[in-house]
Amino acid sequence: MKLTINYMDRAGKVLGFTADEIEELSKRFVGHLKKCGAENITKNQIIQAIFIIKDIRDKQIEQRAKELHIKNPLIRKYQTQIKELSKLGLGSQRISNELKTKYKINLSSSSIYRFLKEDEGNGQS
């Protein structure tokens, strides 16, 4: 599989590098990995890994955007605790009581219920 200039330009845009810098990066990566014991690594595989990094970064940005759409500031702040308590099998009323006990915050069970339903609908958890 021949590596085209267009492919290198695309990889360069992902990292903010020029095609020459991507070429240099891939050569150095290959050299480093071979020095560490990896034998069958090619420049092409290194450049393809850049797109994997881009996908991961895009997913992180998308996740952060979803988190920012949560309007209730208390739910936004304690969303990880709410999700963890929900995974333990607690209902929204019990989660509300736990948050009241542990963090001294008043968050209605209906707000927690709506958050968990939206979160479940988005396929997260």
What pLDDT is recorded for position 5?
57
Global pTM exceeds 0.85: no
User: pLDDT, tens digit, for every residue of 70-105?
Assistant: 888 888 889 889 999 999 999 999 999 999 999 999
What pLDDT is recorded for position 88?
94
User: pLDDT, tens digit, for every residue of 19-77?
Assistant: 888 888 888 888 888 888 877 878 788 888 888 888 888 888 777 777 768 888 888 88
- Rounded mean pLDDT, 108-122: 87
DSSP string, the chain: -PPPHHHHHHHHHHHT--HHHHHHHHHHHHHHHHHTT--S--HHHHHHHHHHHHHHHHHHHHHHHHHHT---HHHHHTHHHHHHHHHTT--HHHHHHHHHHHH-----HHHHHHHHHHHHHTT--
The pLDDT of residue 111 is above 90: yes
Q: Would you kindly state where each structural domain of the chain is located, as residue ranges?
A: 5-60, 70-121
Percent of the chain with pLDDT over 90: 27
